[in-house]
Structure 1
Amino acid sequence: MKKVGIFVILLGLGIFLYYGFNWWQQRQAIQEMDNQELNEYLGYDDTYKKAIQLNTEEKSTSFQKGDRIGQLSVPEIEKKYPVFWGTDHETLKSGVGMYDSQWTVQPNQTGHVFLAGHRDTVFEEMGKLNIGDVVAVEFKGSTYIYQIRKLFVTEKDDRSVITKKDKSFLTISTCYPFQFVGDAPYRYIIQSELIDVKSK
């Protein structure tokens, strides 16, 4: 009986260490934005900005699942995150994933860019964002700046948010509630519209 008890304790400790290490590893993806980076967004406030459209018919670039393809910056919470190709479980361990589907596009194309990340690691502060805040995606030498237009919660199996769009939109999705323990039943959705593009 004592051996069973010791085994259960060791098993529990092993599981705790495994998930604890995974959590710590994913948290390493989060970086603080410095003052110079934050200053780049001082011209954008929470007033409504006119949406713009891309004037290019760029073709999509081929990436392998897990390739690092860019960076997401969120000035309101002073954080930036690496963006990887794909939203599978392994890829999201590294940071933010860009969804690849027939309904979504890459940032340099007109349409719907879709990003996802775990709420208990990279996206735990996303609930602090408000309509009017800006977010930016660096991709292939340009920075695509979006302004948040809508925030809402939906069922975790709701695929209606992953739709084709004929204008330049960015959707960020994460699990919800943020402090929920276990498999969260909802998704927190941040929808934003392209308002500027800066080339380096």
Structure 2
Amino acid sequence: MKKYMSILLIAAGLVLIGYGVWKVIDTGKKTEQTLEDAKLAIEHPQKVDQDRFKPKFGEAVGILEIPKINAELPIVEGTDADDLEKGVGHYKGSYYPNENGQIVLSGHRDTVFRRTEELKKGDRLKVLLPYGSFSYEIKKTKIVDKSDMSIITLQHDKEELILTTCYPFSYIGHAPKRYIIYGKRV
């Protein structure tokens, strides 16, 4: 009986590991495809007027470049699980560059934002959209509880870029905190 239980546990472990590996590979493929879609949208904008820039959920809308970590990440409209599998999600209700408000971009710590812990104050971020290129400088970082919703204010007083991801970066499972990066337009 013990022999069969051991075999069953090993098989279950292999299935779980296999699923995890498949999920990482699948997410990587989706992100690559979305990045290609985002590059096409930027290189060949279809009469995109900034005032009427209202992308559909799940649509590739632009690229987030992070030079320090050599990252070129697709930005997708929405932050649902399906959207975040494709890249960095643009939070519903937040603004875009030149709209004088809070721009909120979120991503998974174990995929697109894997190396964001390497970023420091003064590092640059760049948002590429069909209607322009916008540069930001990191002003500060902050760690908050996962239930702290005070970060996303959707204020419309000044332009600021906010990147959010789960924290700690090496945590396995649902992380208890959020890592926040604040950027100011330069």
Contact 2:50 2:131 in 1 (8 A): no
Q: Partner residue of 2:92? A: 100
Letter aligned with residue 89 of structure 1: A
Contact 2:104 2:152 in 1 (8 A): yes
Relative to the length of structure 2, the TM-score reads 0.81
CA shift at 1:133, angstroms?
0.9
CA shift at 1:191, angstroms?
0.4
Structure 2 residue corresponding to 1:180, chosen from 125, 149, 171: 171
Q: Matched residues in 1 for 2:152 and 2:65: separation?
A: 22
CA shift digits 1:139-161 (9 cap, x unpaired): 12311111111111001111111
**3-state SS of the aligned residue for 1:15?**
helix
Q: Partner residue of 1:26? A: 27
RMSD across aligned C-alpha pairs, in angstroms?
2.0
CA shift at 1:10, angstroms?
3.1
Task: Tell me which protein shows more helix as a share of its residues.
Answer: 2
Q: Matched residues in 2 for 1:106 and 1:95: separation?
A: 17
CA shift digits 1:145-179 (9 cap, x unpaired): 11111111001111111012311110000111111
Q: Matched residues in 2 for 1:176 and 1:123: separation?
A: 11
Contact 1:22 1:93 in 2 (8 A): no
Task: Report the number of matched residues.
Answer: 167
* 1:1-16 superposed matches below 5 A: 1=1, 5-16=6-17
Are residue 189 (structure 1) and residue 180 (structure 2) matched? Answer: yes
CA shift digits 1:73-127 (9 cap, x unpaired): 00111111111111111111111111012xx112242111100111111111101
Relative to the length of structure 1, the TM-score reads 0.76
Q: Partner residue of 2:110? A: 120
CA shift at 1:193, angstroms?
1.0
Q: Partner residue of 2:65? A: 73
Q: Matched residues in 2 for 1:190 and 1:107: separation?
A: 16
Seq. identity, %:
35
Contact 1:60 1:105 in 2 (8 A): no
**3-state SS of the aligned residue for 1:19?**
helix
Contact 1:108 1:139 in 2 (8 A): no
CA shift at 1:186, angstroms?
0.5
Letter aligned with residue 189 of structure 1: I
